[in-house]
């Protein structure tokens, strides 16, 4: 596949994809979708991965749409083919509204659990006093 030739294996998104399996997202959000109502929706896993990238890189809805369309690593991480367009900014907004904070918290907790198991997250508390005297 073209992605394997162009994206280095040590890229942050490759490491993330190897460490955390986001396959559980579709099942977690399945109750937020009605399968037989209207045209097919975007795959919730693709939408979540784009929103994940948005939070990772601290981008607006419009900015992440542009970045996913521009950068092959983002497109690969989201599960899109090289010729596919990213979900538009309004789709991302509706997706976040549809899931609500409770679903995002549930997904976040599972990601943290997987990251802990992979040794990427430590529960050790660190407090640094940065008061200038």
pLDDT digits (tens, 9 = 90+) for 17-42: 888 899 999 888 887 877 666 666 78
Longest Cα separation, the chain: 64
- pLDDT(133) > 60: no
> Using an 8 Å Cβ cutoff, are 66 and 74 in contact?
no
Q: Where are the domains of the chain?
A: 43-116
pTM: 0.82
Mean pLDDT across 59-80: 95
Q: Which residue has the tokens 């939408």?
A: 47
Question: Average of pLDDT values for 74-101?
Answer: 93
**Scanning the structure block, which residue is given the tokens 């994206």?**
7
38: left (phi over 0), alpha (psi -120 to 50) or beta: left
Q: Are 53 and 64 in contact (CB under 8 A)?
A: yes
Task: Give the pLDDT mean for 40-66.
Answer: 93
């Amino acid at each position: 596949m073209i992605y394997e030739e162009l994206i280095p294996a040590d890229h942050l998104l490759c490491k993330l994809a190897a460490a955390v399996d986001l396959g559980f997202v579709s099942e977690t959000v399945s109750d937020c979708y009605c399968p037989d109502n209207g045209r097919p929706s975007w795959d919730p896993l693709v939408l979540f991965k784009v929103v994940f990238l948005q939070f990772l890189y601290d981008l607006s809805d419009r900015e992440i749409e542009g970045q996913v369309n521009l950068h092959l690593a983002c497109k690969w991480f989201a599960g899109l083919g090289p010729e596919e367009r990213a979900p538009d900014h309004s789709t991302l907004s509706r997706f976040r509204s549809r899931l609500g904070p409770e679903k995002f918290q549930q997904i976040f907790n599972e990601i943290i659990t997987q990251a802990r198991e992979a040794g990427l997250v430590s529960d050790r508390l660190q407090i640094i006093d940065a008061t200038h005297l």
